[in-house]
């Protein structure tokens, strides 16, 4: 799955990794939280679609 959304998500995940290290692994740092929330917003629809398709495969 190489949709533009996935490319953006992968880029942001790498940025989040760098931010976490820069903030001495403080997951409550404002910039870490902000990027984490953005990733959640981008990933949630994909996760919901994945759950829905898995559910219908078993029905």
Alpha-carbon gap, residue 48 to 50, rounded angstroms:
5
Domain count, the chain: 1
- The model's pLDDT over 10-36, given as tens digits with 9 standing for 90+, comes to 999 999 999 999 999 999 999 999 999
Containing 38, the helix (H) or strand (E) segment is helix 30-58
| Domain hosting residue 19, numbered range | 4-57
Confidence of residue 57 (pLDDT cuts 50, 70, 90): low
């Amino acid at each position: 799955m190489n949709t533009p959304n996935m490319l953006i998500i992968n880029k942001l995940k790498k940025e989040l990794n760098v931010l976490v290290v820069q903030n001495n692994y403080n997951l409550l740092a404002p910039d870490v939280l902000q990027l984490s929330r953005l990733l959640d917003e981008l990933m949630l629809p994909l996760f919901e679609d994945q759950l829905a398709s898995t559910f219908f495969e078993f029905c």
